[in-house]
Amino acid sequence: MLRIVGEEKNDVYEYRRRPVSLIGHLVDESHLSAAKEAIKDTLKVARVDKEIPINVRRVDDPYWMDEYKMPGRNQIDAYKFMLDISSDDEYKFVLTKNDINSSMGNYNFLVGLAIPGYNAIASTKRFEGVNDPQMRWECVKTEVMHEIGHVFGAPSYSRKDIEENLGRHCKNKCVMRQGIRVPMDWIAMTKDRLETGKAFCDSCENDLREFFGTN
């Protein structure tokens, strides 16, 4: 992680304390509440939950993302979509029912994607096969914590307990580790989170606090 020194430090940390805009697109209200709780809990771990508001709104227009559909696929190009909605005034997190992918890589699909320091998107599409509604809700929460964790700088480059596996990920028992098998790996991460009562490992907690200057 970049170390900030000198007179710019306070300005950078102040800028990073901008609001989070949570946008629910065609998702169940319960899943939108899971996303809000995930972001709130992550901000609490980072010790900025009292400073950063979470503004929630819905977009129920089924055609909202249509211009970002990938040729020959019924999937949204998440990377291009996020670039276009980026803002310097707020973080944006979009939770959508649409299936997503990215033209920036050779993938079959994505569950989520983040642009560190700016915004993220997560799809509930791949959790539709989780039969238990409560576990499905918790998996959505785990995924949102994972993506917003990336937005807020976890895991950092300076660590040794990370791996490059479809992006930079934590190797500890943590929501920031990589999931490959859907939904099995997300269920496993969720069970770990619920059993331990701890979503982020100590190293990722430190990364979140380093991002906001609260460590």
CATH of the domain at 195: 3.40.390.10
Q: What is the pLDDT along the chain (215 residues), one digit of tens a residue?
A: 444 455 577 899 999 999 999 999 999 999 999 999 999 999 999 999 999 999 999 999 999 999 999 999 999 999 999 999 999 999 999 999 999 999 988 899 999 999 999 999 999 999 999 999 999 999 999 999 999 999 999 999 999 999 999 899 999 999 999 999 999 999 999 999 999 999 999 999 999 999 999 99
Catalytic residue, candidates 14, 90, 138, 147: 147
Contact present, 123 and 98 (Cβ < 8 Å): yes
pLDDT value at position 119? 96
Report the domain count for the chain.
1
Q: Which two tokens stand for residue 24?
A: 């629910």
Alpha-carbon distance of 79 to 110, in angstroms, equals 11
pLDDT value at position 8? 74
Domain that holds residue 96: 18-212
Residue 119 lies in a domain: yes
Residue 8 lies in a domain: no
Residue 205, H or E segment: helix 202-212
Residue 41 lies in a domain: yes
Active site residue 90: no
Residue 5 lies in a domain: no
Residue 2 lies in a domain: no
Residue 206 lies in a domain: yes
According to DSSP, the residues that pair with 93 across neighbouring strands are 22, 120
Contact present, 212 and 151 (Cβ < 8 Å): no
Residue 4 lies in a domain: no
Residue 59 lies in a domain: yes
